[in-house]
């Protein structure tokens, strides 16, 4: 048998296009030539997402933080307390520190240590050789990755009374001559003199436009926020941040002396405190197996745990965590240890207090994680050498032994605080915290029991639904229309398509979910009618798969009262049915404000600006018209309501996304929260926007 007998393509002439790649290579030719080896920084440029998470704004920001982290590590190690960050108008970014300065002596062949740091992956002073006790960098790829993804980089190092410069163009080392021409080479250029004791490093880099997305940019506000966090983590370090990309320049000078305690107070904001500030500290050691000279060797690590925390009157939880000076927004083993210890200590304290309100709940009276953390503001930091992160972007700690250490420190510290043995513990503070947590337990159990009862009732058929609900026949394909009271419900029920559109009128004001307790929300008839009609439950137990409609549409009047109703309903959805927002299933109808009758034609406008523009156009053309203003949906006839707000082909809906909810979070907290002063200040400062100033 010949080869032509077994290969269907043999002898058929040229290889068909389907068997070639985009470069025209034969896909079937998988031999040694098909194996590609990426040398040096080529691997970073080929797969930047592996090192910085992506090529958008987040990845670009990660580049800057790789250089900033190196400066912070120097400051944390006690070498210099000033870091200067500059955004330049030409699109470059600069970080200068007063640390020891990257070594400038020869490291490999003709290359200095400075060149090796920026050109070799996994080269640095943070691999346990004593240069750093604990640092943010551990992979040794930060500086080299920045160079790999930059079209140009300039590094100046102050050491030995001189400023040494090495420049990189397209990752190649060299320096510019007197005429400004770049010449490749390994030698450093002395560009100035400094006092013998002045040391430090200045790095300026220009991100490669061919690598990053066209709209990628670094947010000054985001960098400022993280720089502020860094000052809390490294007390007395000074960070100056200057944005020269626009006129006038924006400059911030940041410093903190109170450490994590200041950080907690900053995060708490205007929310009233419950109990006192709790600061926990402890140390322990653990062993792990690491490769040394090609063999696994057991080494001992020293780990320090710092925690600052306090409860507030808010219902929101904010726990931020760090490993050394690196934020870990995705948590990790240190947060797992913290949460476990917190729940254990809280339940021990509740058992000792033997509160009557929990006694009635019997076996259900134990606090769960969300109960213990309701209103909690905390900063958790673990400091130890060579942490193991999950991924180069270092968002989550993976070192397993740290969980045990954090758990022990937090559990023992909180046990002393709740029992009154700690010096900072006061009986009135302990009582306030336990009362808040026990209220959270009662509210959760009450909510679950109420939902269970309503779900059982709903499972029996339409009899379990609110009496005022005009339901549709199609589930879950239909949509729920929420209207204001009976005046709008009548036309909506007549004009709707009853096959897939249900109408739920809300009478009176919905409870303010941003201010009221869970019990107050469950006791509110309008809120419970909405929960029952939607069918997915509420709060942490909300189940998107159990909802009875594909979307929820808010039909509110185009006036102040309508905006208030819409805000209250959205606040309720945001706090108790958040998955609806995450899934993009909440919409707001845009009702018209006016109708123009022009001969036999009727035209609708949705704002006063549209009204004025149409009037001007009609007057100019000499057209006669009749203008009708809609004060509410109840004033429309059935055909008008159908055309403007119910007909999918002609209505205007605005999708309310989780992004909208996040952007509106400040408004929810200020205008709907418990604190009065922020709301008063907001109204005063914005009163001129409504045509008058308030006399207060």
| Active-site annotation, residues | 484, 557, 559, 561
DSSP state of 15: P
CA–CA distance, 587 with 654 (Å, rounded to integer): 5
Residue 636 exposed, middle or buried by CB count within 10 Å (0-12, 13-18, 19+): buried
Cβ-based neighbour number of residue 146 at 10 Å: 27
**Where does residue 629 rank: exposed (0-12), middle (13-18), buried (19+ CB within 10 A)?**
exposed
**Is beta strand 162-169 parallel, antiparallel or unpaired with respect to 150-159?**
antiparallel
- Can you tell me the distance from the alpha carbon of 243 to that of 223, in angstroms, rounded to the nearest whole number? 11
653's tokens: 């809906």
Residues listed for the chain: 696
The rounded distance, in Å, linking the Cα atoms of 165 and 173 is 11
Which tokens in the block code for residue 589?
A: 């109808």
Alpha helices (H) in 583-652, listed in sequence order:
608-621, 638-641
Residues 205, 93 contacting (CB under 8 angstroms): yes
Q: How far apart are CA 650 and CA 639, in angstroms?
A: 12
Structure tokens at 138: 């551990």
Q: How far apart are CA 279 and CA 414, in angstroms?
A: 9
Phi, psi of 535 (to 5 degrees): 90, 5
Buried (b) or exposed (e) across 63-90, using 16+ Cβ within 10 A? bbbbbbbbbbbbbbbebbbbbbbbbeee
Q: Give the whole-angstrom CA distance, residue 454 versus residue 458.
A: 6
DSSP 285-323: EEEEEEEETTEEEEEEEEEEEEEEEEEESSS--EEEEEE
Tally of CA atoms within 13 A in the half-sphere of 675 that contains its CB: 20
* CA 507 to chain centroid: 36
Look at the block and give the residue holding tokens 């400023």.
Answer: 163
Helix (H, G, I), strand (E, B) or coil at 485: helix
Within 10 angstroms of residue 26's Cβ, the number of other Cβ atoms is 11
How far apart CA 103 and CA 119 sit, in angstroms, is 14
Sign of the C-alpha dihedral computed for residues 423, 427, 433 and 438 taken in this order:
positive
The C-alpha atoms of residue 658 and residue 537 are separated, in whole angstroms, by: 19
CB 494 within 8 A of CB 638: yes
């Amino acid at each position: 048998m010949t080869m032509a007998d077994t290969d269907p393509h043999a002898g058929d002439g040229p290889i068909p296009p389907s068997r070639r790649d985009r470069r025209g290579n034969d896909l079937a030719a998988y031999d040694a030539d098909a194996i590609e080896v990426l040398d040096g920084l080529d691997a970073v440029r080929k797969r930047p997402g592996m090192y910085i998470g992506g090529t958008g704004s987040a990845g670009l920001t990660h580049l800057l933080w790789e250089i900033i982290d190196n400066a912070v590590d120097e400051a944390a190690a006690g070498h210099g307390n000033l870091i200067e960050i500059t955004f330049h108008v030409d699109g470059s970014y600069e970080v200068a520190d007063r640390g020891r300065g990257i070594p400038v002596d020869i490291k490999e062949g003709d290359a200095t240590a400075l060149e090796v740091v920026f050109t070799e992956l996994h080269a640095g002073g943070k691999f346990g050789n004593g240069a750093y006790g604990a640092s943010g960098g551990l992979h040794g790829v930060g500086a080299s990755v920045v160079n790999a993804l930059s079209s140009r980089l300039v590094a100046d190092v102050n050491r030995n009374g001189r400023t040494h410069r090495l420049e990189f163009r397209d990752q190649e080392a060299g320096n510019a001559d007197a005429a400004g021409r770049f010449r490749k080479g390994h030698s450093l250029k002395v560009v100035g003199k400094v006092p013998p004791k002045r040391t430090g490093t200045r790095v300026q880099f220009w991100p490669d436009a061919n690598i990053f997305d066209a709209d990628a940019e670094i947010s000054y506000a985001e960098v400022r926020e993280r720089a502020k966090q860094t000052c809390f983590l490294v007390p007395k370090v000074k960070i100056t941040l200057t944005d020269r990309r626009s006129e006038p320049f924006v400059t911030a000078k940041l410093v903190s002396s109170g450490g994590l305690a200041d950080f907690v107070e900053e995060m708490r904001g205007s929310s009233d405190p419950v109990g006192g500030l709790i600061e926990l500290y402890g140390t322990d050691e653990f062993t792990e197996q690491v490769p040394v000279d090609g063999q696994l060797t057991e080494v001992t690590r020293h780990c320090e745990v710092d925690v600052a925390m306090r409860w507030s009157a808010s219902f929101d939880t904010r726990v931020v965590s760090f490993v050394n000076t690196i934020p870990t927004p995705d948590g990790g083993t240190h947060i797992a240890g913290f949460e476990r210890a917190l729940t254990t200590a809280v339940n021990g304290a509740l058992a000792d207090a033997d509160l009557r309100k929990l006694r009635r709940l019997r076996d259900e009276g134990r606090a769960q994680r969300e109960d213990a953390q309701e209103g909690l503001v905390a900063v958790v930091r673990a400091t130890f050498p060579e942490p193991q992160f999950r991924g180069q972007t270092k968002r989550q700690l993976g070192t397993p032994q740290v969980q045990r250490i954090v758990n022990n420190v937090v559990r023992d510290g909180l046990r002393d605080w709740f029992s009154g043995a700690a010096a900072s513990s006061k009986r009135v503070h302990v009582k306030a915290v336990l009362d808040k947590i026990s209220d959270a337990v009662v509210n959760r159990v009450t909510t679950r029991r109420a939902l269970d009862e309503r779900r059982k009732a709903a499972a029996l058929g339409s009899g379990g639904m609110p009496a005022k609900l005009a339901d549709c026949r199609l589930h879950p394909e239909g949509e729920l229309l929420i209207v204001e009271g009976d005046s709008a419900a009548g036309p909506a029920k007549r004009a709707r398509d009853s096959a897939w559109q249900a109408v739920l009128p809300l009478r009176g004001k919905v409870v303010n979910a941003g201010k009221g307790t869970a019990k107050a929300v469950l006791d509110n008839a309008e809120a419970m009618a909405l929960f029952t009609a939607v069918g997915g439950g509420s709060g942490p137990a909300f189940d998107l798969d159990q909802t009875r409609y594909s979307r929820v549409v808010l039909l509110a009047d185009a006036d102040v009262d309508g905006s208030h109703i819409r805000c209250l309903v959205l606040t309720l959805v945001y706090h108790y049915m958040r998955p609806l927002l995450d899934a993009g299933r909440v919409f707001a109808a845009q009702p018209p404000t006016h109708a123009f009758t022009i001969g036999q034609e009727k035209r609708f406008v949705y704002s006063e600006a549209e009204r004025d523009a149409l009037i001007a156009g009609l007057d100019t053309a000499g057209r006669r018209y009749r203008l009708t203003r809609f004060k509410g949906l109840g004033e429309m006839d059935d055909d008008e309501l159908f055309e403007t707000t119910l007909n999918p082909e002609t209505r205007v809906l605005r999708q309310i996304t989780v992004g909208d909810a996040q952007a509106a979070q400040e408004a929810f907290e200020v205008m709907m929260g418990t604190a009065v002063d922020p709301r008063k200040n907001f109204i005063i400062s914005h009163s001129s926007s409504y045509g008058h100033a308030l006399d207060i």
